Amino acid sequence: MASGVTDEPKEPSSPACLAHEADDAYMGFATRAEIASFLAALEAAEQAGRPDAEAIRRILPRVRDDVLHKELAARLRAIEAPRSDA
């Protein structure tokens, strides 16, 4: 092998190798600003007694944070659960 030549490049050479460094929005996830705005609107809707299941369904695939995703999925299940207050 020639002097200074290695089998592995010092830097990733393809976009897939850099995916972990990409901005969330570039990768299709919601930005922090989008999530903050969504959570404020969701809170207002819930306080008004109109929880928005459709809005949660739309944003869930775009939430990268596992904890927030789990919380929103639980809220969605609670909204969609049959009520037994009859």
Locate 9 and state its tokens.
């490049």
Q: Cα(37)–Cα(53) distance, rounded to whole angstroms?
A: 16
User: Domain limits at 44?
Assistant: 32-80
Residue 5 lies in a domain: no
pLDDT of residue 86 exceeding 60, the answer is: no
Give the chain's domain count: 1
Residue 67 lies in a domain: yes
pLDDT score recorded for residue 25 = 83
pLDDT in tens, 27-66: 889 999 999 999 999 999 999 999 899 999 999 999 999 9
pTM for the whole structure: 0.70
Residue 19 lies in a domain: no
Contact 76, 60 (CB under 8 A): yes
Closest CA to 30 of 65, 54, 55, 72: 65
Residue 1 lies in a domain: no
Residue 41 lies in a domain: yes
Residue 9 lies in a domain: no
Residue 47 lies in a domain: yes
Residue 40 lies in a domain: yes
